[in-house]
Amino acid sequence: MPNLDDERFEKYLKQFRPLAPDRLPIEIRLAPRRNSALAIWAVGATAIVIMGVASLWIVNHRITSQPNHSASVNLPTRTPSLTMRHANDLLVKAPSYKAVMNELAFPPKSSASSNDKQSALAVLSEEKIKL
């Protein structure tokens, strides 16, 4: 006496057929890597181009804007940071207060000023010490 349930189950299983395996996903992964490498190169190249253009623009801008600066007020540069030694040297060696004042308040003007104006703060910083 055949077992009908077994036969039915066998028939059910026979419906399934072996399938050919898919290709390994390695190639699929390789494609984006190539893309990202290309993207990095593209970004790098663009950055270099932008930086080059920007630096050229800055240089050109400086050159073209130099004549305009001469028309503006050219304040003398401030004196470098003052230390105790420098201050004491000035106090000891200066023949008068006026000399200390000039040393600190009127630093040599960088480029010949186009006008006779000077820094108000430099004038107000002048010493009046008669040492």
Partner 1 sequence: MRHINVIGLTVIAVLLSVGPAAGQQKVSLADNAALRYWAAFSQLQDAAITDEQAKELNSVLDKMGPFDISKYNDLIQKNTPALDIMARGTLLPNCDWGLDYGLGENVPVDYARKALALGRLNILYTIHLYHSGNKDGAIGALAAGLRFSHDLANGGSLFATLAAKDLLVTHLTAAGDALRMGQLSAAQRSRLQKAVAVLGDGLDWRAAAKRDLDALAAHYSGDSRASLALSRVASSYAAFLKDESDLPSLMDAINHAPPELAQLIPSPKRVEEQKQELSDKIQQTRMLLQ
End-to-end alpha carbon distance in the chain: 132
* Rounded-to-integer distance, Cα 16 and Cα 72, Å: 91
Binding flags for partner 1, 83-102, as an x/- string (CB under 8 A): xxx-xx--xx----------
Residues 45-84: x/- map of binding to partner 1 (CB under 8 A)?
----------------------------x-x---x-xxxx
Smallest distance, Å, CB 107 to partner 1? 12
Tokens (6 digits) for 93: 């060696």
CB 77, min distance to partner 1, A? 11
User: Is 121 an interacting residue with respect to partner 1 (CB under 8 A)?
Assistant: yes
**Cβ–Cβ under 8 Å, residues 129 and 102:** no
Q: How many other CB atoms are there within 10 angstroms of residue 127's CB atom?
A: 19
